Chain A
Amino acid sequence: EAQVTQNPRYLITVTGKKLTVTCSQNMNHEYMSWYRQDPGLGLRQIYYSMNVEVTDKGDVPEGYKVSRKEKRNFPLILESPSPNQTSLYFCASSSRVSGNQPQHFGDGTRLSIL
């Protein structure tokens, strides 16, 4: 089954404790991205990657890092999490950003930073 898998689905942690949210897709997609969703602000792109070893900042990259060492994986790293990073996070992939290609989203990760 074609899917985007995020882990963990839920995480409560404390300020400053490094964490990684993993994202994996099995569709051989080139494009992957991370979003955070907050009430009243909608989905905002954090980082995206057009292919292996190619990453770029989205609208809200501060406080986050990503890597794309393999095509299927695109982890999101919070080196020193802070409470303002409490949010719902989605990973997405697409075979091509332009045209008709849809973004396939993971189930989401609900992150709470205390």
Chain B
Amino acid sequence: RKEVEQDPGPFNVPEGATVAFNCTYSNSASQSFFWYRQDCRKEPKLLMSVYSSGNEDGRFTAQLNRASQYISLLIRDSKLSDSATYLCVVIHTGTASKLTFGTGTRLQVTL
């Protein structure tokens, strides 16, 4: 089983739709969680951190479910510019300097 797993997609959604992605992780000692966005052939960029209590940034909401070992990203009112690959990142407590990336979920927002 991979340490961090994501559905690769693609998720094809119309503009204005709400879409959600999940990311599961296998190491229960994982400590920190992030969502990154990556446009085609470009560098990943931090989208948002994921806090235990859940957090929101505009149209984006991130949540953590430690019991089931997954994090989620919800995008409301999708825009064409949201089309990208979304990567989840997990940091393990025992190896705090090592980040593990999921393979990413591709989102395509259409007219």
A-B contacts, 11 of them at CB < 8 A, read A33-B99, A43-B101, A56-B97, A88-B41, A97-B96, A97-B97, A102-B46, A103-B46, A103-B89, A105-B43, A108-B43
A31 in the interface, Cβ–Cβ < 8 Å? yes
Tell whether, in the assembled complex, residue A58 and residue B98 are in contact, meaning their CB atoms are under 8 Å apart: yes
Tell whether, in the assembled complex, residue B45 and residue A43 are in contact, meaning their CB atoms are under 8 Å apart: no
B21-55 to A contact mask, C-beta < 8 Å, 1/0: 00000000001101010000111111001000000
Tell whether, in the assembled complex, residue A108 and residue B96 are in contact, meaning their CB atoms are under 8 Å apart: no
Which listed residue, B43, B44, B103, touches A41 by the CB 8 Å rule? B103
Tell whether, in the assembled complex, residue A98 and residue B32 are in contact, meaning their CB atoms are under 8 Å apart: yes
Tell whether, in the assembled complex, residue A99 and residue B44 are in contact, meaning their CB atoms are under 8 Å apart: no
Tell whether, in the assembled complex, residue B43 and residue A31 are in contact, meaning their CB atoms are under 8 Å apart: no
Number of A positions contacting B (CB below 8 A): 26
Tell whether, in the assembled complex, residue B102 and residue A31 are in contact, meaning their CB atoms are under 8 Å apart: no
Chain B contacts for A41, CB-based, 8 A: 103
Chain A contacts for B102, CB-based, 8 A: 42
Chain B contacts for A107, CB-based, 8 A: 42-43
Tell whether, in the assembled complex, residue B104 and residue A42 are in contact, meaning their CB atoms are under 8 Å apart: yes
Chain B contacts for A31, CB-based, 8 A: 97
A102 to B49 alpha-carbon distance, docked (Å): 8
Shortest Cβ distance from A71 into chain B, in angstroms? Answer: 16
Tell whether, in the assembled complex, residue B43 and residue A43 are in contact, meaning their CB atoms are under 8 Å apart: no
Which listed residue, A48, A50, A59, A105, touches B44 by the CB 8 Å rule? A105
A18-40 to B contact mask, C-beta < 8 Å, 1/0: 00000000000001010100001
Chain A contacts for B8, CB-based, 8 A: 40
Chain A contacts for B87, CB-based, 8 A: 42-43
